């Protein structure tokens, strides 16, 4: 391989320019031989030597100037060949001018220069085509075995990948067939590759051409169609990769940059759910020029909220988080993106500490607060219920009270579907947070609202990153129960819902997003295994571990008492508020506060008081997980 690389490099650097001069000389000789029969001009060495030298010099100078010799011809496309053709014609004209200036035109007539130009042009292009074929063959021979690849799609991006598979030694695949849903393309060839059918024919085409690799090369395809394609591919147990969406493709779509942009399957592509874009002018108008505070701004949802808020012309964005590493990362990202255009303050502290919160609110004077700070991991909170209460319940209470004290205009709580008929500590604490928001909604000038949604794809601790790690490690992939299902949405969608809710809120609402159909977790695991080129049961095992403490098979978005009220946005609904006995509620909060601050509270007692405060909370057995 090293010999081939050295040979090709030397051929390109030294021999190709010499061969170009040889082509010019041969064109001269052929033109003389052909023209001699018509003009009877004798071909003698000494009489023609000055003209030959002018010919060679003209070609060397023009090819160097263009610069034809600095082109990497193994990767050349149409513009490079056009440039070479133009250089040949200019060199011919330059040579004719030199002959005219130095009196050599007596040797040649006009016809000679016409023949010479044609021969030189054909020779220069032919030399490069031969070089490309030979060098491509040597590179492919040096590259070793490549995976036989089926392309889904037969457009511009597919053509670039086909070219790459033939020319780049670092490319680990060779395209053997393609499919496309455009009937006019089926039966034809793309860059010599047969287009053998539609996407419905992927299994039969993959089998017929012994495909070991599938690339979905349709950057503009929608999520639903993409999911249908992935469903078909997942049955084959063949490794699948994707080209980025159109917006993420490199501007200069040459073969090498497109090849480098191949990526793994995104979680939302497995679900086939089209992203819901909820952002409208009302949200921009609502946030523009405002001072905004995001608690938990370094987390999965909090950081995406910060990204979207920063793009809407706020006068100040304050990020408040206890975990300085996450806060630092989002700070650096936003400063790189916006520089001095964004007034960004990043402050470290805990929502448990009311004194610190008051200090932050006094200094920052926020007009809008998004409260995303919370403990969210269900099994962990089952074994540390007092920490869930301290952080989730009283962190929310502290932030709400600070908002009222400093006359915040709107307070938006980030909640979860686990707050509906909770069976775990985390869900019960988030339901208490919703009750806090609804109880304050009618007693202060601050407008309080909550936003409730299901599982978020790609968030810290979510199931898909876990499955990816388990597949990369060779398994097993762990699923708690074969029947467990969940609602999913993307992080940007969840954040857009929160911002839309903030703009729409009047006070006391619990906003819910239409999240589509729930997904069976085991089906998600099987798809991820199969699209990694592996087979369940043969290459990787799926192991059922049983429901974790506090986990339930089905999540709900609304309690039966809440009902569903439509909003002007067809994708957003409002749960009707449930009447709260305020006196009992405040007493329950007081009792919980005294218990969790008592020094060493028993988990059983914390769960018991949670169940008393949230009458829809039904733990399997009070304190049994402690």
> Which residues are part of the catalytic machinery?
418
CA distance 253 to 290: 40
Inter-helix orientation angle 582-596/425-441, to 10° = 130
User: What are the backbone dihedrals phi and psi of residue 512, each rounded to the nearest 5 degrees, phi first?
Assistant: -130, 135
CA distance 343 to 360: 16
> Given the structure tokens 């503009």, which residue do they identify?
220
Whether the CB-CB separation of 345 and 318 falls below 8 Å is answered with yes
Query: Which residues lie below 8 Å from residue 435, measured CB to CB, with a gap of 6+?
Result: 580, 585, 613, 614
> What is each CA distance from 7 to 14, 21, 139, in whole angstroms?
11, 20, 11
> Given the structure tokens 């975990």, which residue do they identify?
323
Distance, CA of 616 to chain centre: 39
Name the pairing type of β-strands 189-190 and 572-575: unpaired
- Where do the DSSP E strands lie in 322-416? 344-348, 368-371, 410-416
CA distance 423 to 620: 7
Check whether the bond before 54 is cis (ω within 30° of 0). no
> Given the structure tokens 């497109």, which residue do they identify?
258
Q: Compute the residue count for the chain.
A: 626
Q: How many CA atoms lie within 13 A of 164 on its CB side?
A: 22
Euclidean distance between the first and final Cα of the chain, in Å? 63
Distance, CA of 140 to chain centre: 31
Which of 116, 51, 68 is CA-nearest to residue 89?
Answer: 116
**Long-range contact pairs involving 255-258 (C-beta distance under 8 Å, separation at least 24):** 255/75, 255/160, 255/161, 255/163, 255/164, 255/167, 255/168, 256/75, 256/164, 256/168, 258/157, 258/160, 258/161, 258/164
User: What are the backbone dihedrals phi and psi of residue 134, each rounded to the nearest 5 degrees, phi first?
Assistant: -65, -45
Whether the CB-CB separation of 331 and 344 falls below 8 Å is answered with yes
Q: Which residues pair with 177 in a beta bridge?
A: 150
Check whether the bond before 156 is cis (ω within 30° of 0). no
H or E segment at 453? Answer: strand 447-453
């Amino acid at each position: 391989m090293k010999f081939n690389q050295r040979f090709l490099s030397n051929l390109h650097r030294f021999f190709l320019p010499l061969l170009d001069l040889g082509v010019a000389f041969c064109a001269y000789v052929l033109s003389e031989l052909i023209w001699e029969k018509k003009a009877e001009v004798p071909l003698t060495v000494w009489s023609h030597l000055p003209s030959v030298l002018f010919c060679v010099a003209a070609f060397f100078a023009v090819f160097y100037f263009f610069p034809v010799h600095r082109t990497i011809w193994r990767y050349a496309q149409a513009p490079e060949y056009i440039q070479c053709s133009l250089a040949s014609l200019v060199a011919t004209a330059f040579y004719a001018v030199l002959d005219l200036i130095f009196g050599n035109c007596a040797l040649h007539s006009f016809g000679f220069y016409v023949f010479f130009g044609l021969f030189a042009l054909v020779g220069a292009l032919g030399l490069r085509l031969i070089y490309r074929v030979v060098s491509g063959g040597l590179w492919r021979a040096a590259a070793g075995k490549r995976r036989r690849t089926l392309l889904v799609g037969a457009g511009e991006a597919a053509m670039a990948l086909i070219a790459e598979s033939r020319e780049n030694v670092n490319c680990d695949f060779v395209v053997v067939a393609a499919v496309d849903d455009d009937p006019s393309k089926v039966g034809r060839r793309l860059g010599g590759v047969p287009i053998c059918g539609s996407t419905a024919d992927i299994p039969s085409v993959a089998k017929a051409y012994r495909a070991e690799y599938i690339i979905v090369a349709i950057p503009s395809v929608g999520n639903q169609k993409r999911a249908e394609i992935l469903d078909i591919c997942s049955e084959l147990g063949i490794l699948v990769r994707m080209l980025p969406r159109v917006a993420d493709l490199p501007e200069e779509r040459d073969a090498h940059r497109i090849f480098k942009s191949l990526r793994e399957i995104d979680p939302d592509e497995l679900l086939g759910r089209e992203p819901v874009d909820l952002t409208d002018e009302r949200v921009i108008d609502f946030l523009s020029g405002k001072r905004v505070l995001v608690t938990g701004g370094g987390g999965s949802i909090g950081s995406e909220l910060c990204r979207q808020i920063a793009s809407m012309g706020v006068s100040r964005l304050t990020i408040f988080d206890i975990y300085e590493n996450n806060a630092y990362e989002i700070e650096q990202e936003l400063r790189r993106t916006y520089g001095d255009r964004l007034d960004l303050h990043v402050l470290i502290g805990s929502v448990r500490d009311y004194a610190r919160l008051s200090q932050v609110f006094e200094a920052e004077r926020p007009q809008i607060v998004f409260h995303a700070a919370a403990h969210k991991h269900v099994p962990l909170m089952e074994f540390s219920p007092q920490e869930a209460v301290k952080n989730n319940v009283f962190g929310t209470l502290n932030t709400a009270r600070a908002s009222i004290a400093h006359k915040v205009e709107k307070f938006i709580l980030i909640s979860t579907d686990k707050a509906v008929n909770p069976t775990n500590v985390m869900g019960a604490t988030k339901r208490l947070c919703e009750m806090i928001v609804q109880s304050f909604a009618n007693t202060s000038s601050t407008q309080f609202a909550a936003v409730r949604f299901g599982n978020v794809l790609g968030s810290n601790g979510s199931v898909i990153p876990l499955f990816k790690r388990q597949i990369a490690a060779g398994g097993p992939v762990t699923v708690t129960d074969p029947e467990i299902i969940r609602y999913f949405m993307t992080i940007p969608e969840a954040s857009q819902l929160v911002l839309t809710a903030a703009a729409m809120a009047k006070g006391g609402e619990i906003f819910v997003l239409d999240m589509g159909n729930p997904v069976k977790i085991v089906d998600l695991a099987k798809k991820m295994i199969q699209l990694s080129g592996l087979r369940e049961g043969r290459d990787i095992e799926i192991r059922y571990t049983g429901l974790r403490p506090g986990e339930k098979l089905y999540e709900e978005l609304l309690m039966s008492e809440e009902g569903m009220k439509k909003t002007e946005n067809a994708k957003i609904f409002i749960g009707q508020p449930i009447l709260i006995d305020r006196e009992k509620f405040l007493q329950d909060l007081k009792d919980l506060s005294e218990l969790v601050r008592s020094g060493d509270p028993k988990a059983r007692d914390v769960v018991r008081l949670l169940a008393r405060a949230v009458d829809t909370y039904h733990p399997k057995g009070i304190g049994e997980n402690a």
